[in-house]
Amino acid sequence: MSDTKSIFVGLNETLIYTDLEGKLKDDPGVSKIVINGNVYSVKLRPGASKLLKGLRKKGEVYLLTKTASDYALAMSNKFGFDFDKERIFDRDYIQDWKNKKLDIPIGENYLIDDLPYAYNFKKISFLKQLGVVKYIKVNPYNGSANEDMSSEDVKDILKEI
């Protein structure tokens, strides 16, 4: 087993919020992002960039999302998350988790996501090929100011890794 820390972070409701219902249409913090002709209204979670910066000091950070890779890459580029294609594991990996292999050293593994543990069976099962997965649940972000990731929240997450 290596000393490597592999940290996987969810995208929607963890780092960003994509408003599919138009409830944030008048919010100045919403960005319009066009992917394959579809327009998405997306809001960056305050504190998300600080979290990623802190996580990168702790280990290797990857995006693990149930979205398509082009969507995930577009969000990463728009919000400066700095995930290249090789660090994004999309819905194809999660849906076919029994047949997808990770070329990542076995070590300490973390998953940071907004969903309850029981709802993340496929993500966790996919990651278990690397060994034990420590699950860190964050509160879901739905674009509201009271759902920001505070400096204290970030510190608490970083302490767990």
Name which CATH class applies to 5-17+44-159. Answer: alpha beta
> Quick check: 37 and 11 in contact, CB under 8 A?
no
* Minimum mean pLDDT range among 20-24, 55-59, 87-91, 94-98: 94-98
**Domain locations in the chain?**
5-17+44-159
Total-model pTM: 0.93
| The pLDDT value given to residue 2 | 62
Measured distance CA(120)–CA(107) in Å, rounded = 20
CA distance 27 to 155: 28
pLDDT at 26: 87
> Residues 53-92: pLDDT tens digits?
999 999 999 999 999 999 999 999 999 999 999 999 998 8
Q: How many CB atoms lie within 10 A of CB 7?
A: 22
> Is 160 exposed, middle or buried, given 0-12, 13-18 or 19+ CB atoms closer than 10 A?
exposed
